[in-house]
Amino acid sequence: MKVGELAAATGLTVRTLHHWEERGLVVPSARTASGHRVYDEGDVRRVYQVVALRELGLPLEAISGLLASGSFGAVLAAHLEQVDARLAALHSLRGTLAGVVERLHDVPDPALSDVLEMIDEVSRVNDTFAQYFTPEQVAELQARRAEGEATAAEWPGLIAAVRAEMDAGTDPADPRVRELAARWDRLLESFHRGDPELGARLDRMRVENTGEVIAAGGPDQAMIDYIGRARPSG
Amino acid sequence: MKVGELAAATGLTVRTLHHWEERGLVVPSARTASGHRVYDEGDVRRVYQVVALRELGLPLEAISGLLASGSFGAVLAAHLEQVDARLAALHSLRGTLAGVVERLHDVPDPALSDVLEMIDEVSRVNDTFAQYFTPEQVAELQARRAEGEATAAEWPGLIAAVRAEMDAGTDPADPRVRELAARWDRLLESFHRGDPELGARLDRMRVENTGEVIAAGGPDQAMIDYIGRARPSG
DNA sequence: CTTGATCCTCACGCGACGTGAGGCCGCATC
DNA sequence: GATGCGGCCTCACGTCGCGTGAGGATCAAG
């Protein structure tokens, strides 16, 4: 088999086969008198082996090591750890990036300073979330916020409405306030979906980061208490 | 500010600042008579801007473009899409890799051919799952299997036990078989956790891939029916 | 014998720097 | 003023897995 045929058969390029030969991965076992590469059946098998291992994302050097030594367990486990690390880093990056992109929607013509502030803020928020929730939970919450974006957008209006009733001195038991409290709980529900642990962690986070929550337009403790008194049970 | 001081202050290396200057990203606005770089306050701010944007994973060229043009929305959105693509690819890779590593535990001294077979099989299984479940569901199922590995390991024994009762011609209503069916449902439950959609999709996948399931040591339709008749309701 | 396809061997390019090599500059000490 | 040491300068090569030519030899068919 000549390189072109082998390349066509495997979907690789001729250059790739040349490169693998340079690296000592697949050296054709023969050449014609004029120097053309000739791959025999064993060489072809070897190529498919390299292809398979390369699909696991292994660097060529590791592949040649594996084909020589055969210590798959250790190498693949180490590689898996490394992939996990890259995955975690990329996932965290995606979170920051998505947060920034989302906020950019609200600013018509953002200046550089706005973007830098957003990066800072989103990073801080994500770090804070990471302290209170496991990576899986964070991913879940992000996914939910993405799908229910419109829902989350109701918070500012709702908070403003509650603030207005508080300032007006309305009794928490007033039907209007009870209605607001019901909306409040529906929004909360869309966040933790009935998982009490998620709700508890969220509340702990809110209590321990009161300042940041208020700075971000969130409710203060007085409002939380007011809503609590407005609930039928409270 | 000299380059060493700036490097120390920002946590960058001197080489990095040199490189950024080569790329035109941050060019110190002055030099001493002897050629030493002198960074003024504006240069330092510029460095911090580049640092922030670099943390979003942007290539240097995109950063210099952004600092010049300021079209953040489009660039960051495009970058987010690219990050998502990489994340998806890396996630799928991780699935394959984890599957292979897991199976390697069961083979004492794996040969290359064993590993290649595993790669093939795991890839096929993952592709099949991808047809029936969303990426999020796949991730969830993988996470569950990782935490409940011991639970999943009960399947082979359970299937063998059911097979034995079937071969012995035991009546499905026999208490022993009913007990096996209960174990069966507990294992299934640990898989879909009460989510009926997950259960339905799993069943559809099993039906449409009967051959593969049996080849992988899974139950055949006769066994499913037998278990169904053994349930109190059936 | 010609022609078009295939093959060969260099060798540079990519991205974001790390890592020297070899030499100049600045400040402190003797 | 000489010495020494640390910081600074400018090349320039290496990384990883090839892509992409350049320039020339070879092969199979007409």
d(CA A208, CA B46): 35
**CB B77 to CB A101 under 8 A?**
yes
| Inter-chain CB pairs, A–B, below 8 Å | 100
d(CA B75, CA B57): 12
Confidence band (pLDDT; 50, 70, 90) for A18?
Answer: very high
Most A-contacting residue of B80, B84, B104 (CB-CB within 10 A), to test interface: B80
Neighbour-count burial for A153-171, b at 16+ CB within 10 Å, e otherwise: eeeeebbebbeebeeeebe
- pLDDT at A194 (0 to 100): 75
- pLDDT at A152 (0 to 100): 75
Average pLDDT over every residue of B201-206: 87
Q: Which of A157, A9, A6 is nearest to A18 (CA)?
A: A6
Tell me the HSE value of A215 on the side-chain side, using a 13 A CA sphere: 7
Residue B144 has phi, psi (to 5 degrees) of -65, -40
- pLDDT at B145 (0 to 100): 73
A229 contacts: CB under 8 Å, gap ≥ 6 = A172, A173
How does pLDDT run across A166-221, given as a tens digit for each residue? 999 999 989 999 999 999 988 888 878 778 888 888 888 888 988 888 888 889 99
Whether A139 contacts B72, CB under 8 Å: no
| Percentage above 90 pLDDT, chain B | 57
Highest mean pLDDT among A212-221, B7-16, B193-202: B7-16
Average pLDDT over every residue of B179-194: 85
Contacts of A52 in chain B (CB under 8 A): 116, 119-120
Whether A126 contacts A99, CB under 8 Å: yes
Instruction: For residue B35, say whether its CB is under 7 Å from any atom of strand D.
Output: yes
- pLDDT at B45 (0 to 100): 97
- pLDDT at B149 (0 to 100): 62
Whether B31 contacts B37, CB under 8 Å: yes
Distance from CA of B200 to the nearest CA of A (A): 22
Distance from CA of A4 to the nearest CA of B (A): 25
| Out of A3-12, A29-38, A101-110, least confident range | A101-110
A98 contacts: CB under 8 Å, gap ≥ 6 = A142, A146, B80
Whether A37 contacts A3, CB under 8 Å: yes
